[in-house]
Amino acid sequence: MTITYEELMATSIVDLNHSYGDTETMLYAQSVGFGRDPVDRKELPYVHEQGSPLQTIPTMATVLVPDLIPSDLGWDYTQVLHAEQRLQLHRPLPAAAEILVNKRVVEVFDRGPKRGAMILFEADGRLAKDDTALFTVGSTVIARGDGGFGGQSGKGPAPHRAPHREPDLRCDSPTRADQALLFRLNGDRNPLHCDPGTAAAAGFPAPILHGLCTYGIACHAILKTICDYDYTLIAGFDVRFSAPVLPGDTIQTDMWQDGNIVSFRCTAKERDVVVLRNGKCTLAV
C-alpha cells in the first residue's frame, strides 16, 4: 500500500479522552530509572505517593498520547523509524488527571524511493475539567519503505547544535537487562522491544530499548544533575534519535548549560555509540 499525501494530511483526532493515575505516574518513573535506590530521598517522591506530593517527570507527556505514532496510516510500519521527539510543557504535569488530546499530521515530505517519507506529527494535551493547556509534543518519523509517493521534498525542524567545548557536566545512567520489558507497560507493545525473534529479524542481537525510554532517561539525568530533582524547572525537551540502546547499556549524558538552555548528548558508554544527539532542554525562567 502506498501512502497518500492528502489522506495523511487529513489525519486528525480531536478531544481524544485519556486518563491516568498515580500508578501510571510511578510506573513511568521506575521505567526510566527512578527508585533504584529505595532510600534515595530525592527520587522517592517520584515513585512513592505517601508522605509528600507525588512528583512527575516532564517527559511522561510522551506516553500520555495514545498511539503517538499510529501503525495504520497506509505505510510499511516495519520500516518506520522514530527520528525526533519534541516536547513543550505549558505547566507541570499533574500526578493524575483526565485529559483531552488533539492529534494531527503537520506535514509530509517525500525524500525519494531510497530515503523514504518524512512525516511530522503533533499532539496537544489539556485538562478535561477546564481546558487548561498541559503540553505539546511533536514527533518526526521516517517511513523508510514509503518514499517516492509523489509528494514535495522538504526538511523538518532545524536541529539544535551543542556548543563546541568540552561538556560542563556528565551523568552515567545504567540500564537494566529487563528495562524494555518494564517500559513497554507504558503503552508501546512493539515486539521489537520484547521478542528476541523479532529483534533478530531486524538485525539486532537482542530486543532494543524504546527510544522514548532513552529520552526519559536523559531527562532523569538532567533532573538529577542540573535541576536538583525539581521537575517544574523543565519547560521543553527536544532530541534526535541516532542509534538504539541495548538493555544493560550504560547511558552517558553529556551536558552543556548556557543560561536556561541545556544542550545534551547521550552515548551507550560500553559501545561508544551516540544514541541521542542534538538534545535541547529548555529550563523555565
Q: Which domains does the chain have, with CATH numbers?
A: 5-283 (3.10.129.10)
Position 1 confidence tier, pLDDT thresholds 50, 70, 90: low
Is 193 catalytic? The answer is yes
Q: Which of 113-117, 231-235, 247-251 has the lowest mean pLDDT?
A: 113-117
Give the predicted TM-score (pTM) of the model.
Answer: 0.95
| Long-range pairs for 19-25: beta carbons < 8 A, 24 or more residues apart | 19/97, 19/98, 19/99, 20/64, 20/96, 20/97, 20/99, 21/96, 22/49, 22/54, 22/95, 22/96, 24/186, 25/54, 25/56, 25/60, 25/95, 25/96
pLDDT, one tens digit per residue, over 71-122 is: 788 888 778 889 999 999 999 999 999 999 999 999 999 999 989 999 999 9
Q: Which of 30-44, 66-80, 188-202, 240-254 has the lowest mean pLDDT?
A: 66-80
Residue range 158-174: average pLDDT? 97
Q: What are the DSSP calls for 81-125, one per residue?
A: EEEEEEEEESSPPPSSEEEEEEEEEEEEEE--TTT-EEEEEEEEE
Among candidate residues 110, 124, 146, 193, the one labeled active-site is 193
Position 69 confidence tier, pLDDT thresholds 50, 70, 90: confident
| Sign of the alpha-carbon dihedral angle for 215, 221, 226, 229 | positive
Is 188 catalytic? The answer is yes
Choose among 96, 120, 113, 90: nearest CA to 235.
90
Among candidate residues 110, 188, 238, 249, the one labeled active-site is 188
Residue range 189-207: average pLDDT? 91
